[in-house]
Amino acid sequence: MTASAATAIGSGAAGHGRLSADTLRPYIGILGVLLGAIMSVFGSRVTSFGIADLRGGLHLGFDEGAWMTTSFGVGQMLVAIACPYLGTVFGVQRMLILGMILFFVASLLGPLSPNLPAFLTMQFLGGVGSGTFIPLTISFIVRSLPTRLIVYGIAAYAMNSELSQNVSASLEGWYDDNWSWRWIDWQYCALLPLMFACIWYGVPRQDINLKLLRELDWPGMVYAGLGFSLLYAGLDQGNRLDWPNNGVVNGLLISGGLLTGAFILREFTASKPFLRLALLKQHSLVLLILLIAGFRFIILSTAYIIPTYLQTVQNFRELQVGAVLLWIALPQFLIVVPLGWLLMRVDGRYVLAAGATLICIACLLGTQLTDAWATDDFLASQILQALGQSFALTALIVLVVASMNPADALTIGTLLQTGRLFGGEIGTAFMQTFVRVREQVHSNLIGLHVDILSGLTTGRLQSYGTLMSQHTADPGKAAAGATSLLAAAVARQAAVLAYIDGFLVAAFGAFLCLLATAMLPRQKRIADLDLTGGAPAPLPAGSTASG
């Protein structure tokens, strides 16, 4: 296992010669895995933005449709645990091709599903297929590029992640306006053949290592996969079902917690554990995993606040929401090369701290929110957030690579992917619940000042009554309409105040990440690393450059 893991990280890390058909293969392979990373993020984000269209197209109610995103995320979580290890056993190319086939079939058949169980099954299988893409991306970039270019590859990966996350609303809205809701899934069928060609040509085919398969700690992998998946589902459904007041949420969280506990116990007692959890004793690794989860918490929290505000308060549609989020996506193209150049010369901790600071400032700017804010008002904060997120995520991955022993690549890769998924899900679940509760609190506090005997309240009702009387001659209906308008104004202000509280919490989270960054030890620069584990590692016997 140790030698294979070192080979997976180390092979191909040496410098490349002049460009030729053979030297171009790794770059084509990297294009393929980056396309996969984009589609993996699209799968969850586009479904979230388009869930109303999906429910309408499939004739489903709100509660039924709520399981669409959950089933996709559970599929990704389930395969995230096993994918790095299975990639070493069967080879990266085989795992990616299997994932592409599964994702293609699920995306093609999903919109044609005759009922909810069939669609949820396709969503789950699509999550399993796309879930193979991200865990294998970073390791392939690290082992395929010359050392001097690794930072730029990591920066491109971070750019892809941010880009795909923030153009999803625009894509979903465009599909709904111009084509069909079915293209929410069918878009992948158009992109997957290109990814397949890149992976087939650019990713080497490795021999199957059955010895590793025989040594695999199957109980540990099963405990982890099922436990983490159940916890993920419980978090995703918690806000909708009111957390501990619902038996389904309790069952998911308790059973997931018990299986996760069994997994941890197994890994500390097994002679050949699935994951070497003893690595968590390393001070820097624990901090890096917490930082990955923390930044995903912040990013997904603000990614929930802004679209929800625009849809709830301003009644924006997805295409209009996308116009705001594009200000996070578009700057990514401009900073990939400068950011890579900077990280080759500056301690990654300083870049990470700068990213956390920019995110904190962006969230504090968001606390100036009013019910009049629209697209242009978010411009300054979103550009700062775009820069901060790219700085933070790229620097984090560089620090992880710099601290990684090739022999521990499987464990670290799995822990980081799990932290990434859980951090994002906890951020979304927390912010949904936090905003809902704070909105109730603010609505109650504002309502305490709405006194029917107050001159301000009477004047507001009279102005609303005058407005409503233009649409009806019935004084009773006009008075009822005026009362409804006053209630809507209270609800609107309560929502705005709740979103402001959400931005404050996100800013506090960024500040905590800044403090954690200060505790990180100094790491080697990427240019000084020996990524082969001691000596250049050739491809496994029998490997070929193409399929």
Predicted confidence (pLDDT) per residue in 196-206, tens digit: 999 999 888 88
Residue 16: which pLDDT band, with cuts at 50, 70 and 90? very low
The kind and range of the H/E element at 264 are helix 247-269
| Number of compact structural domains in the chain | 3
Q: Identify which of 236, 187, 244, 210 has the alpha carbon closest to the alpha carbon of residue 71.
A: 236
Same domain? 285 vs 237? no
Asked if residue 472 belongs to a domain, the reply is no
Asked if residue 91 belongs to a domain, the reply is yes
User: How many whole angstroms separate alpha carbon 320 and alpha carbon 329?
Assistant: 15
User: How many whole angstroms separate alpha carbon 138 and alpha carbon 391?
Assistant: 17
Residue 226: which pLDDT band, with cuts at 50, 70 and 90? very high
Same domain? 294 vs 147? no
Same domain? 157 vs 226? no
Q: pLDDT tens, 148-195?
A: 788 888 888 777 766 776 677 667 677 777 787 788 788 889 889 999
Same domain? 181 vs 306? no
Residue span of the structural domain in which 250 resides: 217-273
Asked if residue 474 belongs to a domain, the reply is no
137-146, 277-286, 408-417, 423-432: which has the highest mean pLDDT? 423-432
DSSP letters for 131-185: TTHHHHHHHHHHHHS-GGGHHHHHHHHHHHHHHHHHSHHHHHHHHHHHS-TTHHH
Asked if residue 350 belongs to a domain, the reply is yes
Contact 385, 302 (CB under 8 A): yes
Same domain? 44 vs 70? yes
Asked if residue 521 belongs to a domain, the reply is yes
Same domain? 41 vs 149? yes
Classified as helix, coil or strand, 375 is coil
User: How many whole angstroms separate alpha carbon 398 and alpha carbon 523?
Assistant: 10
How many Cα atoms sit within 13 Å of 142 on the Cβ side?
29
Same domain? 324 vs 387? yes
Same domain? 367 vs 417? yes
Q: pLDDT tens, 497-519?
A: 999 999 999 999 999 999 999 88
Q: Identify which of 347, 384, 398 has the alpha carbon closest to the alpha carbon of residue 507.
A: 384
Residue 362: which pLDDT band, with cuts at 50, 70 and 90? very high
Asked if residue 547 belongs to a domain, the reply is no
C-alpha distances (whole Å) from 176 to each of 27, 46, 192, 239, 324 are 35, 12, 21, 27, 18
Two structure tokens written together for 290: 């917490």
Determine the straight-line distance between the first and last CA of the chain, rounded to whole angstroms.
24
Asked if residue 230 belongs to a domain, the reply is yes
Two structure tokens written together for 514: 């800044």
Residue 406: which pLDDT band, with cuts at 50, 70 and 90? low
Same domain? 109 vs 243? no
CB count within 10 Å of CB 486 equals 16
Domain limit, last residue, from 164, 187, 207: 207
Domain limit, last residue, from 252, 273, 294: 273
Please tell me which residue, 282 or 29, carries the higher pLDDT value. Answer: 29
CA quadruple 324, 328, 334, 339: dihedral, nearest 10: 170
Two structure tokens written together for 54: 């999906």
Q: Identify which of 233, 290, 241 has the alpha carbon closest to the alpha carbon of residue 423.
A: 290
Same domain? 100 vs 235? no
Cβ burial, residue 264 (10 Å; 0-12/13-18/19+): middle
DSSP letters for 10-44: HTT-SPP-S--HHHHHHHHHHHHHHHHHHHHHHHH
> What pLDDT, on the 0 to 100 scale, is given for residue 17?
43
Two structure tokens written together for 73: 């995320």
Residue range 237-250: mean pLDDT, rounded: 87
Report which DSSP code applies to 450: -
The kind and range of the H/E element at 319 are helix 318-329
Residue 287: CATH number of its domain: 1.20.1250.20
Confidence check: pLDDT of 533 > 70: no
> What pLDDT, on the 0 to 100 scale, is given for residue 179?
83
Residue that the structure tokens 């606390």 belong to: 367
Same domain? 267 vs 310? no
Cβ burial, residue 361 (10 Å; 0-12/13-18/19+): middle
Domain limit, last residue, from 247, 273, 299: 273
User: How many whole angstroms separate alpha carbon 245 and alpha carbon 179?
Assistant: 41
Same domain? 189 vs 304? no
User: How many whole angstroms separate alpha carbon 30 and alpha carbon 352?
Assistant: 25
> What pLDDT, on the 0 to 100 scale, is given for residue 386?
82
Q: Rounded mean pLDDT of the chain?
A: 79
Classified as helix, coil or strand, 205 is strand
Residue that the structure tokens 């991306």 belong to: 137
Asked if residue 7 belongs to a domain, the reply is no
